[in-house]
């Protein structure tokens, strides 16, 4: 144990030496068992716990197991209920003239480039490629300079140290993924005895009086200065969510709140803002899920979907649909309600094609097509084979399949009403 005292803090280091019996000729490893930097902490040897909950000292606390009993400023359970192996408790000190961080991981990634294999391409000696998504997902290195083969059949595969490819040879380096680098990596495993678990817990509490000009619980910035990223194998993402499951999980992204109201937690659920933010599609769904977009519960004061843009169309429906482009099975006052200002027509079917394009509107027997609200309507009686025109509930005229016409009033000749 090495202990050194400064003006306010005490630094204690516990160092041990590890020698592997299997590799006795290897150099021993030095392990830092304990690093404790604190201004005020009490140690209970019977419970092997260092209590820093009461004084809440700032500093770095590290141990080889969950030794430290603490209480976060965000909140905690009473007593010795919160333990941690590593704590970095930080309090800002400077005014608006300093940008301060509690912890910084600052890295530079400038090695590990492995481009995909391409036919009829010149590769220099020592250049590496990554065949993930192309061949057997491996890293290969060029033994000599030369030009690759004419088609993907020449792509290197296997574990050999000399693989012919057109005018050059490759050697197997390792599985794909070894070319990846990360400034910060976090991984964990939940065993059969594990309880409720989190990979990362991120809390940010705004206390009364906090400035609200800009507050973000988490920010992720991607700065692309290398050229446009295309959609495909080598893509650029700000946040990339991936699945590694053998079984189906509940949700890729889930958001909820314990808030009982009446105030809501947020104004917007998903906010995409700025004319230069998105180029092609704001939300792209290329899955094969049962439903692409579903509104299952809740009550929306204005509507489930409200379009206030100046786009050429509100809904552009393409593809192949076995049942219908729009299916409404709700219990609503109206299936479709039009209240806008239209420059040409409310419904335009002139561009419709295909076998069903000949029918602009189809309704079942007994349903009405009405004008002036519900005062004047047409309906068809399948049993009698009669088309009827009904005004204020009274049949004004009807015509059957044989062309027989029955009218309530007079039949008058002329072109004027």
* 391 located within any domain: yes
The per-residue pLDDT for range 68-101, each reduced to its tens digit, is 888 888 888 888 899 998 888 888 999 999 999 9
Say yes or no: 77 and 146 in one domain: no
Phi-psi domain of 126 (left: phi exceeds 0; alpha: psi -120 through 50; beta: other): left
Q: Which domain holds residue 395?
A: 361-407
Could you give the CA distance from residue 148 to residue 170 in angstroms, rounded to a whole number? 10
User: Sign of the C-alpha dihedral, residues 113, 114, 119, 125?
Assistant: positive
C-alpha 408/C-alpha 394 separation (Å) is 9
Q: Is there a single domain that holds both residue 6 and residue 52? A: yes
pTM comes to 0.77
Tens digit of pLDDT for each residue in 218-235? Answer: 999 999 999 888 776 568
Among 175, 201, 217, identify where a domain stops: 175
Question: What whole-number distance in Å separates Cα of residue 388 and Cα of residue 396?
Answer: 8
Do residues 157 and 135 touch, judged by C-beta distance below 8 A? yes
Q: Is the same domain home to 74 and 144?
A: no
Q: Are residues 85 and 126 in the same domain?
A: no
Per-residue pLDDT of 16-64, as tens digits, reads 654 544 455 555 555 556 666 555 556 666 778 888 887 787 888 888 8
Identify the CA nearest to 154 among candidates 165, 163, 145: 165
133 with 55, same domain: the answer is no
Residue 298, helix vs strand vs coil:
coil
* 84 touches 68 (CB < 8 A): yes
For residues 52 and 28, is the Cβ–Cβ distance under 8 A? no
| Shared domain check, 132 and 56 | no
Phi/psi class of residue 23: alpha, beta or left (left: φ > 0; alpha: ψ in -120 to 50)? beta
Task: Give yes or no: residues 85 and 14 share one domain.
Answer: yes
| Region of residue 231 (left: phi > 0; alpha: psi -120 to 50; beta: else) | beta
393 within a domain of the structure (yes/no): yes
The domain boundary, picked from 131, 153, 175, lies at 175
Residues in CB range of 197: below 8 A, 6 or more apart: 188, 190
Model confidence pLDDT, tens digit, residues 329-357: 888 888 888 888 888 998 899 988 888 88
The rounded Cα 358 to chain-centroid distance in angstroms is 42
What are 85-144's pLDDT values in tens digits? 888 888 899 999 999 999 999 999 999 999 999 999 999 999 999 998 888 899 999 999
Last residue of a domain, one of 157, 175, 193: 175
Q: How many domains does the chain have?
A: 3
Rounded distance between C-alpha atoms, residue 317 and residue 326, angstroms: 9
Does 229 fall in a domain?
A: no
Contacts of 243 (CB under 8 A, 6+ apart): 249, 252
């Amino acid at each position: 144990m090495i202990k050194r005292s400064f003006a306010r803090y005490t630094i204690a280091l516990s160092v041990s030496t590890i020698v592997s019996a299997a590799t006795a000729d290897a150099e021993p490893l030095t392990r830092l068992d304990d690093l404790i930097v604190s201004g005020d902490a009490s140690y209970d040897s019977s419970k092997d716990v260092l209590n820093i909950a009461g004084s809440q000292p700032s500093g770095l606390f590290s141990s080889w197991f969950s030794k430290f009993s603490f209480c976060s400023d965000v909140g905690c359970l009473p007593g010795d209920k919160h333990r941690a192996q590593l704590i970095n408790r930080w309090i800002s000190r400077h005014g608006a003239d300093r940008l301060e961080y509690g912890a910084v991981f600052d890295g530079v990634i400038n090695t590990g480039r492995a481009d995909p294999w391409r036919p009829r391409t010149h590769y220099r000696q020592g250049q590496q490629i990554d065949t993930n998504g192309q061949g057997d997902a491996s890293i290969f290195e060029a033994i000599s300079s030369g030009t690759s083969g004419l088609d993907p059949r020449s792509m290197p595969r296997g574990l050999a140290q000399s693989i012919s490819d057109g005018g050059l040879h490759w050697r197997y380096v390792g599985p794909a993924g070894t070319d990846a680098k990360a400034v910060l990596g976090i991984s964990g495993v939940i065993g059969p005895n594990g309880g409720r678990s989190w990979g990362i817990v991120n809390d940010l509490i705004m206390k009364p009086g906090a400035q609200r000009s800009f507050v973000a619980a988490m920010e992720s910035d991607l700065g692309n200065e290398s050229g446009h990223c295309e959609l495909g194998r080598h893509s650029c993402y700000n946040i990339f969510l991936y699945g590694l499951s053998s079984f189906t999980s509940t949700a890729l992204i889930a958001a909820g709140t314990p808030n009982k109201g009446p105030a809501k937690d947020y104004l917007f659920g998903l906010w995409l803002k700025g004319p230069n933010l998105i180029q092609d599609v704001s939300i792209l769904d290329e899955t094969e899920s049962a439903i692409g977009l579903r509104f299952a519960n809740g009550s929306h004061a204005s509507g489930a979907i409200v379009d206030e843009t100046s786009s050429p169309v509100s809904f552009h429906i393409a593809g192949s649909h076995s049942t219908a482009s729009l299916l409404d099975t709700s219990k609503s006052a109206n299936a479709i309600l039009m209240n806008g200002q239209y420059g040409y027509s409310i419904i335009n079917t002139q561009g419709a094609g295909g076998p069903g394009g000949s029918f602009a509107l189809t309704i079942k027997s007994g349903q009405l097509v009405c004008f002036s609200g519900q005062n004047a309507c047409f309906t068809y009686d399948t049993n009698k084979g009669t088309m009827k025109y009904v005004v204020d509930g009274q049949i004004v005229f009807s015509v059957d399949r044989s062309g027989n016409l029955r009218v309530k009033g007079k039949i008058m000749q002329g072109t004027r009403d």
